[in-house]
Structure 1
Amino acid sequence: MILNGVMLTIGLSFVAIGLGIVLATLMSAWRSLAGAWAGYIVDAYVELMRNTPFLVQLFMIFFGLPQIGIRMNGLEASLLAMTLNLAAYATEIIRAGVDSIHKSQVEAGLALALSRRQVFQYVILQPAFARVWPALSSQFVLMMLASSICSFVSVQELSGTAAIIEADTFRSFETYIVVTVVYLLLALTLKLFLNWLGHKIFPQVSGLARLDAKAEAA
């Protein structure tokens, strides 16, 4: 049962991370390319999601949306809530990376007759991701750990499975010691995987490589 819960936690987390980073990238591009009005809409969304509890967001989707005719099972509601929540945090992290790109690089791209979309795609996006990848990685790990809240809508991921085992066996201490160790191993493994992935995706001149160089020099 614990193994099944672990597999569901991993699957739910990876799908939410993938969808969330795509949505965050699209919102960052929209804010950069569509003008001030798009920025206001994205900022409103980000502030709404970052300043309300994830549990409330999950309950709003699972219990609230059926009131207007949109029904989802627990897994679908959890995936949507995790995606929307992660996208809000990732949008702000990506914005910091975009803002860190020197204005002269943008001007150079425009001088080469690139469109603003092409400048964002080829000049801004990759170095921006490279500079904020450590922060994004930390947010991905936090989102994986936050998946435990999905047990409140009857999703039998790791925490939900632990609750069932504890109710059947009345062995609370043993159950949650095992679950704690499993979550720790999952978090550390995901962190190592994301660090490896960052080095593979981004060239050695990236911000990630510079951070490593500074650490080695220290």
Structure 2
Amino acid sequence: MEHEKGFAKGLSIGIIMDGNGRWAKRHGLPRTAGHKKGAEVFKDIIRYCNELEIASVTFYAFSTENWARPLEEVNAIMKLFGQYLLMAYDYQKENNKVVFLGDRAPLPPKYQAQMADIEEKTKNNTGTVLNVAINYGGRQEILHAAQALARQVQQGALRPEEIDEARFSAQLYTAGQKDPDFILRPSGELRLSNFMLWQASYAEFISMDVLWPDFTREDLDKAIDEFNHRSRRFGGL
């Protein structure tokens, strides 16, 4: 697919990585095989986002609701998280600034330490900002932000009437970042599934009839091309 240079530069994208289980079922494989293939696609798409000079990309890796899945599957996902996100990708070489979104407390202490180390080591990198949503829920994020502001009011550091959208946004996991221009969901589903509920208020939503393990760079090109042909009104005419 031919594109003008810079056709994706500066965009902020949210990606709901969906369809790993269905992909595995179609191929007669265990669900864990779908997650492994999806993790490989994840790495390639990060590199492509760097090449396209995309400002930031947020990958929905594991939701707060995913703990309800079978224990074997949850354990496999956590193992892949350690293998692919924490050890097998050279964020420094790729110049990515990495931010992990979500509640880390339920995660293994070893992972929590690795996540903090990666964030610290990459905080000054200037390439694509890579947000990884792990044990993340949009409602949970909003609740945590509200609680943080409530504590400030309780401590006398803030008056209720001083709370505005900017102050609220500053308490989110994505504080200081641009809101997503569009949310992309492979698999053909048409739901946000508790993903970036505050940030996606005016984001375009793009659904693609391809399962995440089959997702390619060309598919991302198509999604960006569709976004670039849309007219965003932000509530206006």
TM range (shorter): under 0.3
TM-score normalised by L of structure 2: 0.25
* Greater strand fraction, Structure 1 or Structure 2: 2
TM-score normalised by L of structure 1: 0.27
